[in-house]
Structure 1
């Protein structure tokens, strides 16, 4: 190569060596291009080698050596425990089918992955969108058919949520939607006819559908060509009444084929309880019972509740009743022997009845095996919180049954001194959940600092055997006292005071940022389960709403106090974990 003017160290006048410079540049460019081509070729070769290594390493992965029958059991363990799986590609079991071909084949050939499903049927307010809705529902119908066909001959369980309309836009309010409603109902009926073809294998069924759809299901089951649901064990029915008045024609008699099934053991009804007495339900077989009715749509009278309990007395273990009227004529109820009853949940609307009459209900029940008790009193809007030493309405039940209640859930419009008085009558209590009642954002002062001090009073300690506590809708001002209580109960390892194992607190509004929660970490390190939550500040909530993606309107099962909710009890705001 000729000597470059740059390398010579001389700064010669341009012109005399231009041809040398151009030759050097050309040669350098050619060499650079050759090197870059080699780099690209080597990078491609490197990437190909990485792929080969990755895929062959996958063949050596421990999971590849797991026998297919064991892997199938692992797949089944991945299914959700608290709800039925949905037709979502991001959820199990469909997610398993997109990992690899062998997993896909194994998943499709494992019936227990496909014998449970949650189904959501959408709706529309606009005639112009009906063709789109029809396409979506028919596509889901075909998908559900394939899903259930993979279940082989196993019993099947499903939940169907088909809310016709739950929030009507303002521009639709004045329009006649009867014709559209009828078309949507026919669409739903076509879908339900598919499920009815599998009626012989129904095991757990949840129906949250319009009343006319329930009536259609009843007609299908009455058809001689349909198999009776002889395997049905769990039935959960919520009758929606969103369709026009002329389409509302359903009652429990329409689905008598379901509720009269001899195999039925768990019955959850959102119907008028009086109506249930007119049907020959095999009450003696019922183990779990829930009868709920919105205040605006019906009443469960005290007398009706007592008749239902009497008919279920033999095997009943769990009972949930919403009492929305105690205006029955005063009468003395005969004792109801419930020898196997372990869980009793009562929700009462004070607006339409005298809460003191709950003593009549509890006083007639004898349940020696009772361990879980829940009482929720929804107060009259104009009522003031009750204070003093009011005896709990369930005291006659405790005294007559001589039961050992270990789990207590309360939502009451009473002050902290009333709650303290009640808890002193339950010294063996090991689990407590209390929800602060609120009216117009004003609490009833149930969960207070004096209450927390009573839990730490060495001379007269409240509930010395308590191991788990969950407080809901708590005012942030009690945070320090709650922390002191948790620290005291964690240190108290005496023979008569049980150490606290779980402490959950849900505040009803954002806790001040200056609140020191560092000691919660110390409690968690000792083994205590700690979870404190509060709503987010308004600005953060609004920011999330603007970015949120709408979700399907899923099925709603009437919750009881022991269930853990993700939203604040009264404001409905989403709770975030503080610690």
Structure 2
């Protein structure tokens, strides 16, 4: 559209009095055309809106009828129930949360809710977390704890009421700092009527809870296969509790105890049928801790043991160790040892008293550096005899790079999985640093078959050093999992893109600031619970 004012458009030009009538005349036809177009657009828009409404109505009609033919609705109920069961977590019990099955499944539709509530196997696993006290008002702990616990137990009672006659897997978790609060009688009164159906039971209890359990006999728990009992250490050396027939359950094959107040070797277990054993007996009472001699005596009774975790009292440097009989452990495949002050000497002593050993996994934990850890030849000599060993976890206060290097170079060449952890913040020296990674790059190669490499609390390792290590060991590495107790310095994932594309799994976690107090979580005590420390 031509205009005599084209040169003046989009400028700051102000029309003169003589030009104004000309401008008004110039706009008469364009304004008429604009009004006509607006009318046409409005008509088309109204027609389009009508078409859209008609389309949405047809779409709703079609979809509502297609739903009647939906494959998920045509699945037989018994098969749908199996799908529901497959939605349950495979590695732990179910939590009281609408974020996951089975509770979530009942909130999809009424038919799914009906099916989920009528499927006992969906509810046969339960994890109960007792709420923590109110840290801000400790004087009101008991009242708040009682109210919150009553609410949790009401849900647990409803849950267990849906289990029919299914064998049960139940775990109870609570904070150790709650030991000043007695376990509510209602909890055990809720659980004990189901004792005949207990198959897997894990309890974190105060002493009063253990006393109540001790009244059960082996006949009360005919299905019990695994039992785990934990409590905060009792500092009163006069306190003991006597476990009764529940430990002699006919099908019990897995037993775990963490706490104090017992003599491990006196437990009335069917030792010869155990396949899994974990004893972490705190030695506030020196008569109740687990010594090397007691450990060997216990292992000599466990002819079918495949997995073992032991917390051993430290061996003093001046202590003369007795000559115990050699213990055959032909079925033992996984061995975890905790010894706070003398981990290397203890490990060497125990491994040298095992025969027919075909260990595949070995873990060693020790928190203090009081022991002279420079000489690691004894333990590496013992480990070299384990020709099937493929996995090592090490959390020991080795006091220097030299000691760590000697240990790593002395490991069997069969090692495929290695996890290194800083002992604790009590260590003055942090040997898990860049120099530690350089040990793996020297020739001959340390752990030449290494496929999985994990470091926890890698505060002293830089991102650049980690990148260099991964590249140097890339021919065999399949998984790298590093947890840093610091912020990220350099993003190395872009430099590792080609290795990730080739199949390398890598997880780098940089820990955020944690809250002052743990937050309540129904996942507390489970492997995938949120971390607050």
Q: TM-score, normalised by structure 2?
A: 0.79
Change (3 A) 1:554 1:295: farther
Query: Is the deviation greater in 197-206 or in 410-419?
Result: 410-419
Q: Which runs of 5+ in 2 are unaligned?
A: 1-23, 26-41
> Partner of 2:478 in structure 1?
501
| 2:301 is aligned with 1:324 | no
* TM alignment of 1:75-224, pairs within 5 A: 75-122=84-131, 124=133, 134=146, 136-163=148-175, 165-166=177-178, 181=181, 185=183, 188-219=184-215, 221=216
Change (3 A) 1:479 1:157: same
Q: C-alpha separation between the residues in 1 aligned to 2:518 and 2:55?
A: 41
Give the secondary-structure state (helix, strand or coil) at the position aligned to 2:473: helix
Give the secondary-structure state (helix, strand or coil) at the position aligned to 1:460: coil
> Partner of 2:71 in structure 1?
62
| 2:445 is aligned with 1:461 | yes
Q: C-alpha separation between the residues in 2 aligned to 1:127 and 1:103?
A: 45
Q: Contact between 1:410 and 1:433, CA under 8 Å: does it hold in 2?
A: yes
Alignment deviations for residues 42-68 of structure 1 (CA, whole Å, 9 cap, x no partner): 999887766555544433433223222
Q: C-alpha separation between the residues in 2 aligned to 1:37 and 1:480?
A: 64
Q: Contact between 1:293 and 1:322, CA under 8 Å: does it hold in 2?
A: yes
* Count of aligned pairs between the two proteins: 484
| 2:223 is aligned with 1:231 | yes
Question: By how many angstroms is 1:285 displaced?
Answer: 0.8
Change (3 A) 1:257 1:42: farther
Give the secondary-structure state (helix, strand or coil) at the position aligned to 1:258: helix
Change (3 A) 1:42 1:521: same
| 2:409 is aligned with 1:424 | yes
Q: C-alpha separation between the residues in 1 aligned to 2:162 and 2:310?
A: 38
Q: C-alpha separation between the residues in 2 aligned to 1:436 and 1:129?
A: 35
Change (3 A) 1:134 1:475: closer
Change (3 A) 1:121 1:356: closer
Q: Contact between 1:365 and 1:397, CA under 8 Å: does it hold in 2?
A: no
Question: By how many angstroms is 1:208 displaced?
Answer: 0.4
Change (3 A) 1:469 1:228: same
* TM alignment of 1:433-444, pairs within 5 A: 433-440=419-426, 442-444=428-430
* TM alignment of 1:396-415, pairs within 5 A: 396=382, 398-399=384-385, 402-414=386-398, 415=400
Q: C-alpha separation between the residues in 2 aligned to 1:54 and 1:85?
A: 35
Q: Contact between 1:416 and 1:447, CA under 8 Å: does it hold in 2?
A: no
Change (3 A) 1:508 1:143: closer
Change (3 A) 1:565 1:418: farther
Question: By how many angstroms is 1:103 displaced?
Answer: 0.8
| 2:326 is aligned with 1:335 | yes
> Partner of 1:306 in structure 2?
296
> Partner of 1:170 in structure 2?
none
> Partner of 1:26 in structure 2?
none
Change (3 A) 1:94 1:397: same
Q: 2:335 aligns with which of 344, 348, 355?
A: 344
Q: C-alpha separation between the residues in 1 aligned to 2:518 and 2:133?
A: 18
Q: C-alpha separation between the residues in 1 aligned to 2:150 and 2:395?
A: 44
Change (3 A) 1:275 1:98: same
Q: Contact between 2:422 and 2:432, CA under 8 Å: does it hold in 1?
A: yes
Q: Contact between 2:344 and 2:376, CA under 8 Å: does it hold in 1?
A: no
Q: Contact between 1:237 and 1:268, CA under 8 Å: does it hold in 2?
A: yes
> Partner of 2:379 in structure 1?
393
Q: Contact between 2:120 and 2:164, CA under 8 Å: does it hold in 1?
A: yes
Q: C-alpha separation between the residues in 1 aligned to 2:428 and 2:221?
A: 49
Q: 1:529 aligns with which of 483, 505, 508?
A: 505
Question: By how many angstroms is 1:335 displaced?
Answer: 0.5
Q: C-alpha separation between the residues in 1 aligned to 2:528 and 2:165?
A: 35
Question: By how many angstroms is 1:98 displaced?
Answer: 0.9
Q: Which runs of 5+ in 1 are unaligned?
A: 1-8, 11-31, 168-176, 493-498, 558-562, 574-579
Give the secondary-structure state (helix, strand or coil) at the position aligned to 1:145: helix
Q: C-alpha separation between the residues in 2 aligned to 1:335 and 1:43?
A: 85
Give the secondary-structure state (helix, strand or coil) at the position aligned to 2:457: strand
